[in-house]
Amino acid sequence: MKQALNRISATMTAVFSMIFNLMQKQADHQKLTRHILELNKKQSSKEIINEVALCLKDIINYRLFAFVIKKETTVDVWLDPRMYKDSLENIILKDFIIENKDHLTYLNHSFHCDEPREHFNMNDLIFYDITQDNIIFRIYMLPNKKPYAYQDEVVTLILQGCSFALSQQLKIESLKDAAIIDPLTGCYNRREFENQLKRNMAGAVRHKADMSVFMFDLDHFKKINDTYGHIAGDKILKETTRLVKESMRSGDILARYGGEEFIAILPKTNKIKAMELADRLREKISKLSVEHNGAAIQVTASFGVAELNPNADMEKIIEDADNMLYRAKNNGRNTVMPGVIKIVCDQDMLKRKETVI
Active site residues: 260
Name the pairing type of β-strands 104-106 and 126-132.
unpaired
> How many Å from the N-terminal Cα to the C-terminal Cα in the chain?
95
Q: Half-sphere exposure of 113 toward its Cβ, with a 13 Å CA cutoff?
A: 4
Identify the H or E element spanning 28: helix 2-39
What are the two backbone dihedrals, phi and then psi, of residue 164, each rounded to the nearest 5 degrees?
A: -65, -50
| 8 Å CB contact between 263 and 257 | yes
Please enumerate in sequence order all residues whose Cβ is within 8 A of that of 324, keeping only pairs 6 or more positions apart, or say none.
Answer: 215, 303, 304, 305, 306, 337, 338
| CA–CA distance, 257 with 192 (Å, rounded to integer) | 10
Closest listed residue to residue 188, CA positions, set 238, 257, 255? 255
Task: Tell me the torsion sign for CA atoms 156, 162, 166, 168.
Answer: positive
| CA–CA distance, 256 with 262 (Å, rounded to integer) | 4
Helices (H), 181-269: 190-207, 221-228, 230-246
DSSP 181: B
Distances (CA, A) of 182 to 24, 311, 318: 49, 31, 19
Identify the H or E element spanning 261: strand 261-267
| 8 Å CB contact between 301 and 219 | yes
| CA–CA distance, 60 with 257 (Å, rounded to integer) | 46
Closest listed residue to residue 316, CA positions, set 241, 211, 219? 211
